């Protein structure tokens, strides 16, 4: 069975957005995997020792790092299984969706939940995460997250293109979910798993789509352990 090296919090919660894309992609392709708990401070010891980030897939000895490279590997290696992109044009358009998700969701969310992420980590990871992220932000994690209530309306407003799309179709992929859905699902799942901060209003159409994503593949996303 394939092994997916999957970022884990102190209590085993799997919260990484990049890893969630890959978890969903493997399920979409109907490929069973062992999602192996990996801490930030254990990434350097994965497989060949050359990996800097997770997810990393070990597919019967074939090591692939980077979520996009893994998606392409799965699409090319298992062409008879359900397509992740829906063809060459779909693959090209998915890159835009992924870029939007990173620029709008990952960047928007990290400022709202970075301290919650830190609090979920194991002691060794806490030290690594605080040092590396405070270097990146140039200030303490507490300050980055402070005042998030005031920034929430702008974050919600930034999701308008997604709302407009979902008002006319059930999935970003159209009639069924595709990798594009998973790239957008993953950062919301990240927030759900480490934080209790209410990101979306109760009646936000994005919520209904997110709930549909949580139900996919026998509730793979929903079964994941939540923030306590
Ligand atoms: N481009 C990579 C990015 C993966 C990534 O940044 N993963 C984070 C966890 S969500 C990580 O492993 N970070 C390692 C670190 O910060 O040292 C991908 O899409 O897989």
Ligand 1 proximal residues by C-beta, below 6 Å: 7, 16-18, 40, 43, 53-55, 66-68, 132
Alpha-carbon distance of 72 to 74, in angstroms, equals 5
The CA radius of gyration of the chain, in Å to the nearest whole number, is: 17
Work out the pLDDT band at 227, boundaries 50, 70, 90: low
State yes or no: pLDDT of 226 exceeds 80.
Answer: no
Rounded Cα distance, 144 and 27, in Å: 35
Confidence of residue 228 (pLDDT cuts 50, 70, 90): low
Q: 129-170: per-residue pLDDT in tens?
A: 999 999 999 999 999 999 999 999 999 999 999 999 999 999
**The pLDDT of residue 117:** 98
Atom of ligand 1 nearest to the CA of 132: 16
Which residue has tokens 């209410």?
A: 198
Does the pTM surpass 0.85? The reply is: yes
d(CA 125, CA 8): 10
Of residues 59, 56, 70, the one with CA closest to residue 25: 70
Per the rule left: phi > 0, alpha: psi between -120 and 50, beta: everything else, 210 is alpha
Confidence at residue 48, expressed as pLDDT on a 0 to 100 scale = 81
Tell me how far the alpha carbon of residue 22 lies from the centroid of ligand 1, in angstroms. Answer: 12
For the CA atoms of 11, 13, 15, 20, the dihedral, rounded to the nearest 10 degrees, stands at 150
Over residues 67-111, the pLDDT tens digits come to: 999 999 999 999 999 999 999 999 999 999 999 999 999 999 999
Closest Cα to atom 20 of ligand 1: 66
Rounded to the nearest 5°, which phi and psi values hold at 37?
-60, 125
Report CA(169)–ligand 1 centroid distance (Å): 31
β-pairing, 56-59 vs 33-38, is unpaired
pLDDT band at 176 (very low <50, low <70, confident <90, very high): very high
For 13-48, the pLDDT digits (tens) are 999 999 999 999 999 999 999 999 999 999 999 988
Best probe residue, ligand 1, of 20, 54, 64 (max atoms within 8 Å of C-beta)? 54
Tell me the pLDDT band of 225, cut-offs 50, 70 and 90: confident
Say how many C-beta atoms besides its own lie within 10 A of residue 72's C-beta: 16
């Amino acid at each position: 069975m394939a092994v997916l090296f999957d970022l884990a919090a102190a209590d085993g919660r799997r919260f990484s957005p990049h890893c969630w894309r890959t978890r969903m992609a493997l399920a979409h392709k109907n490929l069973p995997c062992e999602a192996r708990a990996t801490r930030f401070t254990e990434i350097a010891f994965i497989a060949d020792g050359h990996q800097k980030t997770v997810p990393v897939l070990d597919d019967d000895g074939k090591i692939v790092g980077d979520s996009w490279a893994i998606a392409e590997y799965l699409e090319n290696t298992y062409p008879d299984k359900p397509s992740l992109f829906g063809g060459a044009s779909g693959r090209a358009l998915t890159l835009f969706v992924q870029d939007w998700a990173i620029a709008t969701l990952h960047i928007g969310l990290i400022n709202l939940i970075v301290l919650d992420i830190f609090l979920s980590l194991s002691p060794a990871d806490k030290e690594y995460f605080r040092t590396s992220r405070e270097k990146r932000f140039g200030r303490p994690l507490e300050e980055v997250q402070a005042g998030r209530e005031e920034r929430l309306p702008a974050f919600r407003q930034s999701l308008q293109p997604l709302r407009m799309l979902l008002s006319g179709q059930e999935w970003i992929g159209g009639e069924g979910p595709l990798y594009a859905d998973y790239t957008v699902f993953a950062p919301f799942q990240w927030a759900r798993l480490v934080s209790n901060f209410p990101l979306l209003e109760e009646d936000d159409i994005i919520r209904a789509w997110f709930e549909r994503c949580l139900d996919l593949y026998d509730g793979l996303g929903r079964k994941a352990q939540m923030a306590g």
